[in-house]
């Protein structure tokens, strides 16, 4: 016989309460017979009414956000890139807009190949979310306007596109310049119209979204009022806001 085997002559007490007597019980140990309860009298047979509350199914967009696939940052378009084959622009249209909010006036020193120089002025006014009115003129040494003031409407996107250079013909680097507006960290774009053409170089100050703070290009004598050909340099010397 195993340890867990019960002999036939033993009374099965597996379900007995602890200390429950096995022998005969007298009348004092026996409870009176419980009365029979009528289910109809305790409400089990009562009438009832069901109330239905309509619930609309959840909208597709309300599904558990944890089920949605995570966004891939690389899949988001870069606002600095305006098209295939183009390098990222130094600034987005929104950044150019923010820098010109309320208007601004930019004064530039233009140095001609023969050593002559003049001041050119760009003024942005009537700026809104789409663009602004750009006024341009040439100024003398004393600030007096020389010649005609030209005015045109430009958009922030158009201004951004001016710095969208072809990737295969452009060399991009960084450089620090000391200018009349201070020491500026710049993105330097060296651009060629063809692989054997002379480069044009543009420096964009990262803290001054908008036009380049300096640019150099080779000019032909027939296109210059001085009649000289060679390298022309334009440098921003002042940026004023109202």
Ramachandran quadrant class, 102 (left: phi over 0; alpha: psi -120 to 50; beta: rest): left
> Which pLDDT band, with edges at 50, 70 and 90, does 76 fall under?
confident
pLDDT over 50 at 17, yes or no: no
The alpha-helical segments, DSSP class H, found in the chain are: 93-99, 156-161
Of residues 193, 184, 192, the one with CA closest to residue 212? 184
Give the mean pLDDT of 229-240: 94
Give the mean pLDDT of 180-195: 96
Rg (CA), the chain: 44
Tell me the residue ranges of DSSP E strands in 29-179: 104-111, 117-125, 131-139, 145-155, 170-179
Give the mean pLDDT of 112-123: 94
Backbone angles phi, psi at 95, to 5 degrees: -70, -40
Contact 189, 165 (CB under 8 A): yes
In this prediction, residue 38 carries a pLDDT of: 60
In this prediction, residue 220 carries a pLDDT of: 78
Contact 134, 156 (CB under 8 A): no
pLDDT over 50 at 87, yes or no: yes
Domains of the chain: 93-240 (2.50.20)
In this prediction, residue 209 carries a pLDDT of: 97
pLDDT tens sequence across 197-218: 999 999 999 999 999 999 999 9
> Which pLDDT band, with edges at 50, 70 and 90, does 229 fall under?
confident
How far apart CA 216 and CA 234 sit, in angstroms, is 6
Contact 207, 98 (CB under 8 A): no
In this prediction, residue 55 carries a pLDDT of: 67
pLDDT over 60 at 114, yes or no: yes
Per the prediction, the chain carries an average pLDDT of: 81
pLDDT over 60 at 189, yes or no: yes
């Amino acid at each position: 016989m195993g340890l867990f085997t019960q002999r036939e002559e033993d009374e099965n007490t597996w379900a007995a309460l602890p200390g429950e007597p096995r022998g005969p019980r007298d009348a004092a140990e026996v409870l009176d017979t419980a009365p029979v309860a009528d289910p109809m009298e305790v409400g089990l047979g009562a009438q009832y009414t069901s109330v239905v509350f309509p619930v609309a199914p959840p909208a597709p967009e309300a599904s558990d956000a944890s089920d949605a696939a995570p966004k891939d940052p690389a899949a988001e378009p870069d606002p600095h890139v305006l098209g295939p084959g183009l390098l990222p622009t130094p600034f987005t249209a929104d950044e150019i807009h923010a820098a010109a909010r309320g208007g601004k006036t930019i004064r530039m020193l233009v140095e001609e190949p023969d050593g002559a120089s003049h001041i050119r002025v760009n003024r942005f006014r009537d700026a809104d979310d789409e663009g602004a009115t750009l006024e341009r003129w040439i100024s003398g040494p004393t600030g007096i306007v020389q010649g005609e003031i030209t005015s045109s409407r430009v958009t922030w996107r158009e201004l951004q596109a001016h710095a969208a250079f072809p990737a295969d013909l452009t060399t991009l680097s960084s450089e620090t310049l000391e200018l009349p507006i201070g020491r500026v960290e710049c993105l330097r774009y060296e651009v060629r119209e063809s692989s054997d053409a002379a480069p044009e170089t543009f420096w964009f100050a990262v803290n001054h979204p908008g036009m380049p703070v300096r640019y150099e290009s080779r000019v032909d004598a027939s296109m210059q009022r001085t009649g000289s050909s060679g390298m022309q340099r334009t440098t921003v010397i002042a940026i004023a806001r109202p």
